Every structure is written in structure tokens, then in C-alpha cells.
Amino acid sequence: MFGTKSFRQQFPIFQHHPNLVYLDSAATTQKPKMVIDGITNFYQKENANIHRGIYDLAAQTTQKYESVRQKVAEFIGAKHQSEIVYTSGTTASINLVAHSFLLPRLEQGDEVLVSAMEHHANLIPWQMACKQKGAHLRVIPIDQAGNIDLAAYKKMLSAKVKMVAVVHISNTLATINPIEAMIEMAHQKGIPILIDGAQSTAHSPIDVASLDCDFFTFSGHKIFGPTGIGVLYGKATHLAAMSPYQFGGDMIRTVTYQDATYAPAPQKFEAGTTNIAGVIGLGHAIDFLQQFDKKAIALFVKELGAYAREKLLSLNDLTIIGNAQHKTGIVSFVLNNVHPHDVATFLGTANIAIRAGHHCTQPLMDFYEIPATSRASFSIYNNRAEIDFLVDEIKGIQSFFAV
């Protein structure tokens, strides 16, 4: 049923662009009608600010906003809804942890570990914290195929390490990292670990309680929800110990001209009027996803990726970047003598939407000694016919540039 014509009808974008071959879901997913309608419905029938109003509309909206928190908690297996902080996205979630959790604990000479395949969002916040404190950011190596070197990681976990931050699924390489083992290894040394789940939450079953990670982050727009909303999961003990990152309305307990006391987590991290419609939309996105078996989604997307790889590998003068043992439905590739931007431009004229560039992983491009890749990424509305079309068009590009 995924990828079929009738399934695609749930996504209005394909009615407005009947010929669109959308292969850029790692950048953002398309939105199902029920999410779009849910947001429209909220603004048309339910709009009010939360937490402050006493009238019915405000009380109902507050109740709905908070019920989504419980929904998120269940969706990712958090023990308690107070461990769910609404943010504007993965980037904001990671910045919050770097600022409020790590910085106060970090001292000169300490170390923070990230992997060689991190998105800039899970690299620069730690880099900045290390620079401020005279600490060192160390990079867990990967092999040429894109597998994390677990033996090297184990050796790097010294008493100097104050934090590990690692991506669950690489947006560039498609690698599914062995986060269970990485979390366990960090914890054996008493080191907290954050998992960047931006690419995994849409199509991997996530259970933060059994994973036992300290923090987990994801973005609404990559799980069929709206932009501008995301989640930070943090263990209750960590969130309780962390100071707020932003200050203002809705995050306080008491305020005088001289001083303020703060609300408990998660409210102390949600200053000001938050993205209420975004939260409502996120709730609908989770309802949408919960209709399906997460394992079935993961398998479908993985199989599309494997099919695309197989077909692309049959072409000459094409190299796939990212050949890890465990991977999902993302394929990065480079063509000999054709720049990825030219590939994306040509494919764009055939209504095929792919991404070309460094994918916010510039150091990873340096590792592979390439400036950029073309990247096709798949989701539940894609199908094999679209991949066949992609491959045919790539053949066309190759013959055009061969002339």
C-alpha cells in the first residue's frame, strides 16, 4: 500500500504537482492532508494562547497542546511527558543541551565526542562549547564505507569525555549507527550521550527508555509534521538539573524586579508563546504515523534504498558514497565529470526533486575528498517506478555530458 497511487492521495502536494517525483524527504517530508487539515482546523476553530487564559477556548487549547506532549512521550517511549520539551527543531534541541547541560559541566582540557558523519547541527553547538571552555572536540572515525569504528570509539571514551553526541541515521551516508552499543559503552564510563534522531524518527521504532539515551532530538517537519516544531527528550534528572536557555513569559514560577524562580521542566525551557499550531500539527503527524507499523515503514524505505542502489550501480561512471552495512533509504552518489548541482538541475527539469550539495556535512565531504554529492532520499509515498525514472534520467545526463 505504501507508494501506491491511492496512498499518495493522502498527500495533497501530489494533486497539485501530478508529475512530481519527490526524492528529497531527508530534507523535509511532504505533509498528509490530515496534518494540513488539523492545522487549518486549529486556526479556524480553536485558536487561543495557552496556559494563560481562563476562558473555555484557551483551556481547551492548553489541554490539547499538553495532550500532544503525552502523545510524543508514548511515540518515542519516554517514561513521563515532563521529559518532552517542545523546541523549534533538532537544531534548537541540540543547542539547548549544549548550552544548558554541557557548558556548565565542561572544563578546560575536557573532551566531547561526535562522529565523523554529523550534520552541522550536531557538530557546531559542541564545537562552540569546546571553544568557550578550552575543551577538545574529538571525532569518532568511520571507515570508507561509512561505518563507525566502534573499537576506536571504545578507546576514546576516557575520563576526560564529558559528552557524546551521535547521529542515529546519517542524512548523507544513510548509515544506521549502532546506537544501542554506543549508548551502553558511554554509560559504562558514566558519560552522557545525545542521539540526533532527525533522520530516524519517521521510520524507525524509537524507545528512549529502553535505549537509555540521555537526550534524543527530532524535528516535526521530517516526520510528516509542520516546520518550526521539534522535540528534545531528556532524562528527568538531567532536565531538572539544567538551567533555562531563554527567559521570559510562561517559564517562571515567581518574578520580582530583582529575581525570578522558574517553573519545573519542561515549562522552564519553553519561554514565550511557543509554536502552538506546530504542536497541534505534530500531534496529527504522530496520529498519521501511528496508523502504520513502524517496522513496515522502515522496511519499505530500506527496500526502496536497496533497489535504487542496485539500479544505480548498474551505471558506469557513478560512485555511491555511503555503503555501510546497515543503511536506510538514502542514496548519495557522484557522477564522473558532472557536478552534483548540474545533476540536480537536469533532474529538476524532469520534475525529479533531489538534493545536491554538502548536505550540511562539510567535514564528511572533506573526508571523502569531494565537494558535494547528489542525494535521493525516499519515503512512504515513493515507489520503484520513480526510481526507474530517476535512473533513466541519470543515463540521459551521462549521455548529454559525454557529447
User: Using CB under 6 A, which of 129, 130, 137, 167 touches ligand PMP?
Assistant: 167
Residue of the chain from 25, 29, 61, 91 that contacts ligand PMP (CB under 6 A):
91
Which cell numbers in the block locate residue 126?
A: 559542541
| 177 versus 267: smaller Cβ distance to ligand PMP | 177
- The catalytic position among 34, 360, 365, 370 is 360
Closer to ligand PMP by Cβ: residue 171 or 383? 171
> Which is nearest to 308 in space by CA: 297, 322, 294?
322
Residue 213 annotated among the catalytic residues of the structure: no
Q: Does 382 bind ligand PMP (CB under 6 A)?
A: no
Binding marks (x or -) toward ligand PMP, 215..234, rule CB under 6 A?
----x---------------
Is 171 a binding residue for ligand PMP by CB under 6 A? The answer is yes
95 binds ligand PMP (CB under 6 A): no
- Residue list 332-361, contact with ligand PMP (CB under 6 A): 360
Q: Which is nearer to ligand PMP, 97 or 394 (CB)?
A: 97
3-class secondary structure, 106: coil
- Using the rule CB under 6 A, is 89 a contact of ligand PMP? yes
Regarding 122 and contact with ligand PMP (CB under 6 A), the answer is: yes
| CB-nearer residue toward ligand PMP: 176 or 380 | 176
3-state secondary structure 262-284: ECCCCHHHCCCCCCHHHHHHHHH
Determine the Cα–Cα distance for residues 25 and 354; give it in Å rounded to an integer: 9
From 25, 29, 30, 90, residue interacting with ligand PMP (rule: CB under 6 A): 90
- Label residue 60 exposed, middle or buried (CB < 10 Å: 0-12, 13-18, 19+): middle
The answer to the question of residue 119 lying near ligand PMP (CB under 6 A) is yes
For ligand PMP, which residue of 121, 179, 183, 191 counts as binding (CB under 6 A)? 121
Q: Are 173 and 364 in contact (CB under 8 A)?
A: yes
Closer residue to ligand PMP, CB minimum distance, 195 or 394:
195
Does residue 275 contact residue 228 with C-beta atoms inside 8 Å?
yes
Binding track, positions 190-209, relative to ligand PMP; x by CB under 6 A: ------x-xx----------
**Three-class DSSP labels, 21-38:** EECECCCCCCCCHHHHHH
Please choose, out of 17-25, 114-122, 240-248, 277-285, the segment that lies near ligand PMP by the rule CB under 6 A. 114-122
Written as one string, the DSSP assignment of 300-355 is HHHHHHHHHHHHHHTSTTEEEE---SSB-SEEEEEETTB-HHHHHHHHHHTTEE-E
Q: Let me know how long the chain is.
A: 403
Q: How far is CA 268 from the centre of its chain?
A: 23
- Cα separation, 60 vs 50, in Å, equals 9
Given the rule CB under 6 A, which residues bind ligand PMP?
A: 89-91, 119, 121-122, 167, 171, 196, 198-199, 219, 360
Active site residues: 360
